[in-house]
């Protein structure tokens, strides 16, 4: 009897202890939640200063809440407190990764969004640093060198339209125009010049030299007016991004797979263009590769050169020796051909498949009338819009869409089996 009473007593103690532990865990989970909820509500109302204060108060009690760090980063971004935003996006991503590794059921941070916003605020911080250095150190060469380095670092992250405008303004304020011999820079094909180390990019690129070219045509209303555009030098991928290359990106970044990935990611498709990617997918890949999406103007110059030709290969009407187009069905990705298959379809810079195979996302928003008022030097497209530009036609479309000046608009969230991309890079 005494043994039974002892066992009952131990069982009660064990149950009691377990209840206490669960209660403590629940209380720990609730720590800071009041402040986090208030902070989120204030953030939704765009009361950024008040939201920041509430979220910071909550994080002093519970510093392991990834979503709260993300919301605090958003509040700091609204206040243009770039260093604060940068710190808390990074922390949110780190905590989210730990949460994933431990199998936690807590709500996850949207990784792609967090990485994109982290790049954005880091670029703003670097641009602000350069602005301060230029304003306060025109007579000090070391500060000008720091400003140049900050501008270079910001540009490598990929700049939105507003940032690109500031970047160009700051470049113009440097005491001298920077001129670094391209032969001494790391080459995108993996070779090196006199200074620099081999580039680790997995795709060869072609240099498109600085200068003017003829943009637009009279063959469609949104291609008018025909105008001359000056572009700085840039590099363009010689080939569209392939399934195999995109597979490496997915392995490293844990990004979401595109629709029908299990069909595309087969041995026979590894050298065919990846498709079913939306605009943000393309942006994220290019950033991961140390590059960016080309502007619409860069894409058109890379496709047609400086002599105003209609197609990448010249003015001759398309044939099956020039491009992959006019097919009827996707056929489980077999309607696309391996990149670089059409020697006769190359552009003047040796770039392949700029007509057919896959439509290619570019960075610009689409505006039907943009050419009527677009800048004549380094245009980057409208500041806002509802749709993005895709260029080049695809395996599905008729020859009309293969013209290098042809413009097509697409919703940036579309994941279509004709939409792919290639990347560009600033020297």
CATH number at 69 reads: 1.25.40.10
Res 24: pLDDT = 44
Asked if residue 183 has pLDDT above 70, the reply is no
Do 225 and 328 sit in the same domain of this protein?
A: yes
For residue 97 the two structure tokens come to 């990764």
Residues 163-179 have pLDDT tens digits of 878 888 888 887 654 43
Task: Find out whether 421 and 240 touch, Cβ atoms under 8 Å.
Answer: yes
Is the residue at 197 inside a domain?
no
Res 30: pLDDT = 67
Q: Where are the alpha helices (DSSP H) in 137-203?
A: 141-157, 161-173
Q: If residue 234 lies in a helix (H) or strand (E), which one and from where to where?
A: strand 234-237
Is the residue at 188 inside a domain?
no
Q: What pTM does this model have?
A: 0.61
Residue 302: burial class (beta carbons within 10 Å; 0-12, 13-18, 19+): buried
In 10 A of CB 400, how many CB atoms?
A: 12
Using alpha carbons only, how large is the chain's radius of gyration in Å? Answer: 26
The domain in which residue 20 lies consists of: 1-29
Q: If residue 122 lies in a helix (H) or strand (E), which one and from where to where?
A: helix 111-136
Do 20 and 64 sit in the same domain of this protein?
A: no
Res 21: pLDDT = 41
Do 81 and 215 sit in the same domain of this protein?
A: no
Mean pLDDT across 329-351: 94
Asked if residue 363 has pLDDT above 90, the reply is yes
Give CA–CA dist 9/15, Å, rounded.
Answer: 10
Residue 158 backbone zone (phi > 0: left; psi -120 to 50: alpha; other: beta): left
Res 366: pLDDT = 97
| pLDDT range class, residue 319, cuts 50, 70, 90 | very high
Res 378: pLDDT = 95
Residues 261-304 have pLDDT tens digits of 999 999 999 999 999 999 999 999 999 999 999 999 999 999 99
Do 67 and 83 sit in the same domain of this protein?
A: yes
Give CA–CA dist 397/75, Å, rounded.
Answer: 45
Do 76 and 167 sit in the same domain of this protein?
A: no
pLDDT above 90 covers a percentage of the chain that reads 57
Res 10: pLDDT = 47
Res 259: pLDDT = 95
Mean pLDDT across 372-379: 94
Asked if residue 180 has pLDDT above 70, the reply is no
Residues 26-40 have pLDDT tens digits of 444 467 788 889 989
Do 15 and 40 sit in the same domain of this protein?
A: no
């Amino acid at each position: 009897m005494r043994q039974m009473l002892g066992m009952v007593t131990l069982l009660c103690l064990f149950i009691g202890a377990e209840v206490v532990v669960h209660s403590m865990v629940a209380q720990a989970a609730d720590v800071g939640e009041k402040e986090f909820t208030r902070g989120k509500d204030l953030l939704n109302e765009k009361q950024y200063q008040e939201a920041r204060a509430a979220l910071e108060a909550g994080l002093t009690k519970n510093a392991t809440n990834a979503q709260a760090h993300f919301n605090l980063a958003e509040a700091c971004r609204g206040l243009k407190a770039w260093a604060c935003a940068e710190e808390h996006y990074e922390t949110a991503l780190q905590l989210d990764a730990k949460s994933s590794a431990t199998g936690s059921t807590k709500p996850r941070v949207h990784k792609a969004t967090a990485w994109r916003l982290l790049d954005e605020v880091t670029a703003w911080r670097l641009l602000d640093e350069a602005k301060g250095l230029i304003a306060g150190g025109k007579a000090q060469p070391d500060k000008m060198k720091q400003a140049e380095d900050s501008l270079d670092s910001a540009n490598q992250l990929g700049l939105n339209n507003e940032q690109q405008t500031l970047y160009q303004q700051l470049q113009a304020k440097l005491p001298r125009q920077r001129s670094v011999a391209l032969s001494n820079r790391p080459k995108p094909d993996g070779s090196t010049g006199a200074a620099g180390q081999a580039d680790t990019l997995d795709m060869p690129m072609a240099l498109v030299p600085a200068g003017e070219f003829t943009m637009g045509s009279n063959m469609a209303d949104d291609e008018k007016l025909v105008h001359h555009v000056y572009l700085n030098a840039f590099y363009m991928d010689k080939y569209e991004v392939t399934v195999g290359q995109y597979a490496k990106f997915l392995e490293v970044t844990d990004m979401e797979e595109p629709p029908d990935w299990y069909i595309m990611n087969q041995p026979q498709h590894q050298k065919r263009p990846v498709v079913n990617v939306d605009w943000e997918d393309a942006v994220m890949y290019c950033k991961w590769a140390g590059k960016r999406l080309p502007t619409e103007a860069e894409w058109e110059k890379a496709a047609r050169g400086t002599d105003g030709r209609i197609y990448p290969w010249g003015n001759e009407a398309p044939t099956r020796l020039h491009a992959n187009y006019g097919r009827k069905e996707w056929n489980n990705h077999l309607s696309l051909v391996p990149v670089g298959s059409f020697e006769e379809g190359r552009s003047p810079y040796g770039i392949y498949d700029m007509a057919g195979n896959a439509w290619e996302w570019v960075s610009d928003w689409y505006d039907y009338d943009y050419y009527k008022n677009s800048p004549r030097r380094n245009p980057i497209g409208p500041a806002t819009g509802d749709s993005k530009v895709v260029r080049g036609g695809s395996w599905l479309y008729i020859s009309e869409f293969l013209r290098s000046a042809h413009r097509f608009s697409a919703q940036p969230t579309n994941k279509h089996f004709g939409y792919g991309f290639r990347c560009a890079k600033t020297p």
